[in-house]
Each structure stands twice: as C-alpha cells, then as structure tokens.
Amino acid sequence: MSRWRVEQLHADFQLGLKADKVLYDSETDHQRLVVFENRTFGRVLTLDSVVQTTEKDEFIYHEMLAHLPILAHGAAKKVLIVGGGDGGMLEEVLKHAGVEKVTQVEIDAGVIDFSKQYLPSICKQAYDDPRLDLVIADGADFVANCTERYDVAIVDSTDPLGPGEVLFTDTFYGKAKTCLAPGGILVTQNGVPFLQGGELTNTMRAFKALFADAACYLATVPTYAGGPMAFGWGCDDPARRQVDQETLERRYEAAGIETRYYNPAVHRGAFALPNYIKELIP
C-alpha cells in the first residue's frame, strides 16, 4: 500500500512524495537511510527523512556541480569530492578522461555500500574505477590535514544538519581552500535561497574573505523544492568564471561527455541571478 513520506526540512514548507514501495529502512552509525520507489521520480534516497537524490532528477544537481567547475578550469587532473556517498557526483566527474585522480571523502561507508545495491542507476560502475581514492573519514578532518592539492574541490554535502553541519562553517571553507592547487576551484551546494537564504549569505561572506573571485550559480532541481538551488563558487583566478562560451563549447566537445542538463550556454547563464538572490549576497 502506498503512503506519503513528508520532508520537514523547512519550518513553514513541506515536501511530500508517495512511497509506492519501501526498499530499505535502517539506521547507520550516523543517520537513518531510507530508499523507496515513487512512480514519477523512481528510487528516492532520504537521510534522516530529508530527500537527498532521486533516480529521475539527480542528473541536474550532479552535472552542475561536476561539469561546470571542471570545464571552467579547463585542465583539471585531480578532483576532491567531500560527501557524495550515493556516487552520482563521482560518476559524473569520472566521465572526464582528463581527470587522473578523484579523492572522495565520505563519512558514512554504509551510504556507499547501500547505494551500490539500491541506487546502481546513479553510481553505475564509478566505485570500481581505478582513478578513485576512496577515504572513509569526516570531511572536516580530511581538509584540515590535507597534503595533496586539487584542481577542483566539490562539496557534495547534506543540508547543514547532523553530520553535514560542520561542512558549512568558515573554518571548513578555509581549510578546503588549502586543498586547492593554484587556480583551483571550490564549489559547494548551498540549498534553496528562497527558503534557506541565510545558508547562502553565510557561505558567500566566507568565500569573499577567502577568494579573489566569489560567486554563486543556480540550477532548478524538482525535488529540492522551493525555487532554484544555489551553488557556491570560489577561485583565486577570476578568469575561470569568465571563460567565453566558444571556449566552453570546444572543451565540452573535446570531453566527449553526454549531459541532460548541463551545456555551455547553461553554464554561462547559471551565474545570472535574480534580484532576491543578489540581495542575499554580502
């Protein structure tokens, strides 16, 4: 029998998804994992009752956090992913043949094992790729002691609750910057500004203190309800964000990747912000 799963991430707004069949429901040492099937969105993953990803719309989030900074950089060989245990971000990053190494730091090994079994359409064979260096550790601890330098760092975190809360602090962002090679790019997920404006404001304040070029860009993900989602951008080379569309087209074609949301025109346009979001940026 179907029943509704209701996300209560926001005080005055709820998201409800019908669970046609619950496939998995269990507690790990860090959080409660649930996977259920929904006729429209396919398999849905929730952590502590908050929607993390779905089979049908995951491509939007993962493509925009992976391909945009990699193609903006133009020569990324080493990529760091903090979080992303469902494997969707890793799968997108590994589409780039020029990427020689991906270090993924995930606090909860249970999420990875479970994703391989219940969300194979999202992670595919990413966890078998020899370019992967998988580290099971707290992301904040990892960046605080990081000795390698990465061309792109992607923070694929949960919302700032529970294990993910520390990944939204000024201290974490400062340590994450030290993991970047010269000209490296840091991107983060920063929630839905219409409902989580303070999250974006705090991140942008920290980024402006840390980076020569700090900005955010947008994408609309249906199950991240309440408006477009914001992604933070930090880099000490302002030219990375100003790459022209013709150059992006050449890089995109050379990469030979297939995407359903990302394209160079979307890349350029994603940095155009409506006024209510501009007002949130200090």
For the annotated catalytic residues, the residue numbers are 156
Burial of residue 276 (number of CB atoms within 10 Å: 0-12, 13-18, 19+): exposed
HSE of 203, CA atoms in CB hemisphere, 13 A:
29
Give the separation between CA 165 and CA 161, rounded to whole angstroms: 5
Cβ(191)–Cβ(227) below 8 Å: no
Partnered with residue 46 across adjacent β-strands are: 34, 51
Give the separation between CA 179 and CA 162, rounded to whole angstroms: 24
CA nearest to 70, candidates 93, 45, 42:
93
Three-state SS at 40: coil
Bridging pattern class, strands 78-83 and 150-156 = parallel
- 4 contact partners, CB below 8 Å, separation of at least 6: 16, 17, 18, 19
- 153 contact partners, CB below 8 Å, separation of at least 6: 79, 80, 81, 82, 176, 179, 180, 184, 185, 186, 187
Return the sign of the alpha-carbon dihedral for residues 114, 119, 120, 124.
Answer: negative
Encoding tokens for residue 248? 């992006």
